[in-house]
Structure 1
Amino acid sequence: MNEVRPLTWRNVIGFGLGDVANNFAFAMGALFLLNYYTDVAGISAAAAGTMLAAVRIYDAVMDIVAGRVIDRTSTRWGRFRPFLLWGSLPLMLLSVAVFSVPASWDATDKLIYAYVTYALLGTAYSFVNIPYGSLATVMTQQPRERAMLGASRTIMAALTFSFLALVLGPVVRSVSGAELQTRLTQFTLILAVMGLGFYFFCFRSTREVVERDVERPALKESVGTLFSNQPLLILCLIALCVLIGYFSMSASAMYFARYVLGDPKQFVSIIVITSLFGTLVSAPLVPMMVGRIGKKKTFLFGLSMGVLGFLSLYFAPASSKIWIFFSLSVAAVGVMIPMTVMWALEADTVEYGEWKTGIRIEGLTYSFFSFTRKCGQALGGSIPAFLLAASGYIPNAAEQSAGALLSIQQGIALVPAIAFMLAFILMLFYPLTDQRHAELVQEIKDRRLRR
């Protein structure tokens, strides 16, 4: 294996900007899509929840398809980077389409439109996000540099979440009906143009340097490598739990601000705390903590903070804003630490699979990881919808019943607390420490030199 030069800040920042473009499609859905479907498009909460769950599971399957296609792709620009160009235009256009449900259509036609456009968006996202995420595995094999790449994309994603909440949040709470629909269409068009520019910069500023012995592995070899990768399988279960908690919180934030806190303006505060504050605190900590105690212990530390923060939030009275926002701050750091370390852990599992079988499958490994993440997103984003539907939630009502208020609190706090507890238990059994990963990389290098 040839020695490669260290990553530059251009590499790290350029990689992170790719996640800004991703989140122009992804974060918009996480923050506003459920609320848009129920309160603007006029789709019932139960129907919207079912649709989001079904399409996100379909998206997860498409990730596997995309990973297989990508692993068998080879161009003069590399294996992964070209997809940032080829897939960016349809992805950005579809991100506009999902927020453009025709107001004049009847309920059935609106639901069909939502299914079709959201499914197409998910397909396009798979063929951009899977190669994007796989880039980190071929840009470097150094633990600290991988932590820096993970921190970069986490910071960029948090900044994007906060930007969208600050800019669009006030519009959503103050405008309704046809005017809101017009504003959303205009806003998503602007984001689409910006996203194309960020994808191009990511393409130009990243590189693929890690070698692969088998250029186009057969399906049987790839599947065998995938399912013999014990660290990956455990990490996928952990990611499933973390994403259930995170997306349950995100999908509940607008409802929590409007009905529990009684002030829709607090939605922006919640997103700034959970995304921006959590990231700004955790991102500089993660590379330092990884260097001192390793990725596994850093991950466990973050999960424990998440559990404490969410439990505190669940029991906080609605009248105590200090208690609520302190709990959210603790939970936010607890969320963002594992969310940052997760990307570096996934990259490490690629080397484990290569060491185990001699087959390196970055695309399929990341796509399987993404498959479980999207299942977590589907469940986490849909659980609040089902809780609302079961509690008798009434869209746009001035006040909600006690049962509806409880369901909102469960969605934003109790569900994430339980999910993070499960992730903590699973992480105790994760076997691939930093020391073991370094040994595997050296063994792969020695094996290649002996050939």
Structure 2
Amino acid sequence: MNGTTNNQRPALWERMSFGFGDLAGNALFGITGAYLIYYYTNVYGISASSVALLMLLARVVDSVVDPVIGYLIDHRILFGGRVRPYLKWFSLPLGFLTFCCFLPLPLGAGGRLAWAYATYLVMGVLFSLVIVPYGLLPNVMTRNREDRLSLSTFRMMGATLATFLVGSSILPMVHLFGGGNEKLGYPLAMAVAGAVGGGLALIPFFTCRERYELEANDSPVQVLLGSLFHNRAWVIVTIVLSLFYINLTAFYGLSIYYATEVLHRPQYFGGLLISMMGASKVLGVTCSPWLARHVGQKLTIVLPYILSAMGLALFAYGPNSAAYLVAVFGLICFFQGMTLPVFYAMVADSIDYGTAVTGVTASGMAYSVNSFAGKVAWAIGGSLSAAILGWGSYVPHAATQTHTARAFITFGFLGVPACVALLSVLIILLYPSEAEMTRILQPETPVEPQSI
């Protein structure tokens, strides 16, 4: 990675503005994760099996698109190797396509399915064109590991704030604009969300500075990919971060079903749980740098994940009291929030670690494949949520669901995240030690640890 003429560290305001990118990205992609399955099955009349297939097909498309974007960045084919211009050109189209995903065109069964497939697949491509370059910004903004953790903290503040907003504002907007008519309420609510999200995604383009250039690399794709899979740190953090997305889609995709069919509460209680997830994760994110400085990055993932798995058991077997459920779910999400800045700081570090140990610079490919893996996991989680409904013989609009359907919903909403947490603990223990990472990724100059 080549230096530029200005090697100043990112100021506080610049690090804060960086977080708006994931506020936008998480809001737009989170909306599809939280509400699109419900919209497709209960509002637009598409079968759960067709939705599950769509989620997997979208990731097949991503398997081509994401590495192509990484290749474009590594070979400087677009924008001279800069990453910020991608945000300029693709942020607003991403917001528009998010709106289109919820636009119920009056078509027949085949036409509805084709419209859903077309809009969701294009939305996924545009998301890649925004989120892959955005994710590489820390690598061109700073080489300092403390700064990268700080950038990741603000990024995750934005992401968790997006979760809160997705849970607290979307359904009220649907009801406000639709007056009980969800076919009217959803597109109007998504028009607002798409416009705001697309605008927010532009903020890092205007405020963040690229202080370092990504080195041009003329190596063929197979060499770039080969270097990634010889990068132990990158492989491990990619797997664990992908597992996190499966956990997230379980919470997003099944919260309404769990609230209405298992807890026998109104839909808004599912939205309340999502809102609590966002608010609690913000608190966890703010505590993450403090914990990482005291116990290291690996234990900042291990300890909170163990505690969150214990919290899921308390949630499942505790009383059906609104106050109890909201409080315990908030505690679960607080612990999970503590892991998030560390995940993304590890991604940035692992990219430079790979360059040091393999001698191959593959920054664009590394982040694009990492992003692709996360979206595959998101698709697996979304498809798994839809499949769980089918396996449990869930019947939309039924007055009451069978015991089997409720059991499957409970497993999807609570059991899957618990399994993800425990599996992640085992895998992250294989990540290089703090001493090894510090030895290989020496900062340019000694710096004192700083707060976010």
**Equivalent residue number for residue 312 of structure 1:** 314
Cα deviation 1:195-252 (Å, max 9, x = unaligned): 3432332101112223545455443442232122111111122122222122112111
**Equivalent residue number for residue 398 of structure 1:** 399
Distance in 1, Cα, partners of 2:180 & 2:109: 16
**Equivalent residue number for residue 301 of structure 2:** 299
The one-letter amino acid paired with 2:423 is: L
Match of 1:156 among 155, 158, 170: 158
Q: Percent identity?
A: 27
**Equivalent residue number for residue 135 of structure 1:** 137
Distance in 1, Cα, partners of 2:420 & 2:116: 29
Distance in 2, Cα, partners of 1:167 & 1:438: 42
**Equivalent residue number for residue 416 of structure 2:** 415
8 Å Cα contact 2:314-2:328 kept in structure 1: yes
1:312, distance to aligned residue in structure 2 (A): 2.4
Distance in 2, Cα, partners of 1:46 & 1:172: 25
8 Å Cα contact 1:355-1:443 kept in structure 2: no
Distance in 2, Cα, partners of 1:199 & 1:236: 24
Distance in 1, Cα, partners of 2:18 & 2:275: 23
1:268, distance to aligned residue in structure 2 (A): 2.6
Match of 2:250 among 236, 248, 251: 248
Q: Structure 1 segments of 4 or more deviating over 6 A?
A: 74-77, 173-178
**Equivalent residue number for residue 436 of structure 1:** 436
Distance in 2, Cα, partners of 1:152 & 1:413: 28
1:351, distance to aligned residue in structure 2 (A): 1.1
Match of 2:189 among 187, 190, 198: 187
Match of 1:25 among 25, 28, 31: 28
Distance in 2, Cα, partners of 1:274 & 1:178: 26
Unpaired segments ≥5 residues, structure 2 = 446-452
Size of the aligned set, in residue pairs, is 441
1:421, distance to aligned residue in structure 2 (A): 1.0
Query: Are residue 6 (structure 1) and residue 46 (structure 2) matched?
Result: no
Q: What's the TM-score, normalizing by structure 2?
A: 0.90
Q: What are the residue-to-residue correspondences of 1:108-123 with 2, within 5 Å? A: 108-123=110-125
**Equivalent residue number for residue 90 of structure 2:** 87
**Equivalent residue number for residue 448 of structure 2:** none
| Higher mean displacement: 175-184 or 118-127 | 175-184
1:322, distance to aligned residue in structure 2 (A): 4.4
**Equivalent residue number for residue 44 of structure 2:** 41
1:437, distance to aligned residue in structure 2 (A): 2.2
Distance in 1, Cα, partners of 2:163 & 2:58: 22
**Equivalent residue number for residue 381 of structure 1:** 382
Query: Are residue 68 (structure 1) and residue 76 (structure 2) matched?
Result: no
8 Å Cα contact 1:303-1:334 kept in structure 2: yes
**Equivalent residue number for residue 145 of structure 1:** 147
1:334, distance to aligned residue in structure 2 (A): 2.7
Match of 1:204 among 203, 206, 227: 206
8 Å Cα contact 2:277-2:333 kept in structure 1: yes
1:159, distance to aligned residue in structure 2 (A): 1.5
Query: Are residue 362 (structure 1) and residue 363 (structure 2) matched?
Result: yes
Distance in 2, Cα, partners of 1:210 & 1:79: 10
Distance in 2, Cα, partners of 1:428 & 1:180: 46
SS at match of 1:442: coil
Match of 1:56 among 59, 73, 85: 59
8 Å Cα contact 1:81-1:131 kept in structure 2: yes
Query: Structure 1 pair 76/38, CA: closer, same or farther in 2 (3 Å)?
Result: closer
Distance in 1, Cα, partners of 2:55 & 2:223: 33
Distance in 2, Cα, partners of 1:12 & 1:287: 14
Q: What's the TM-score, normalizing by structure 1?
A: 0.91
1:323, distance to aligned residue in structure 2 (A): 4.2
The one-letter amino acid paired with 1:183 is: G
| Higher mean displacement: 366-375 or 71-80 | 71-80
8 Å Cα contact 2:244-2:420 kept in structure 1: yes
